[in-house]
Amino acid sequence: MSANERGHYPIPQIGVELGIWQGEYDEMNLPWLCWWDSEGNLLLIGEERAEKERLRAERERLRAQQE
């Protein structure tokens, strides 16, 4: 199997790619094995999705409060 132009390994049957992401997670800066969608967008794990949604809701609450 060959890597694509992003350096990921596509799995077309399920529309995802597997590859290495370098960054900080759980207070450790390491290369991490991660999933991306077929367009190259990093797929978040459950905890990350929940935190992203919490931050979005908080921004919306602050916006509504200012209005």
The per-residue pLDDT for 11 is 95
The per-residue pLDDT for 7 is 95
Counting the structural domains of the chain, the total is 1
The 10s digit of each residue's pLDDT in 5-32 is 999 999 999 999 999 999 998 899 999 9
Q: Say how many Å lie between the first and final Cα of the chain, rounded.
A: 54
In a domain, 1, yes or no: no
How far from 11 is each of 20, 40, 43, CA to CA, in Å?
Answer: 15, 12, 14
The per-residue pLDDT for 1 is 83
In a domain, 17, yes or no: yes
Average pLDDT across the chain, whole number: 92
Query: pLDDT at residue 46 above 90?
Result: no
In a domain, 23, yes or no: yes
The per-residue pLDDT for 33 is 94
3-state secondary structure of 52: helix
In a domain, 3, yes or no: no
Tokens of 16: 């995802």
Q: H or E segment at 55?
A: helix 46-66
- For the entire predicted model, the pTM comes to 0.67
What are the beta bridge partners of residue 9?
18
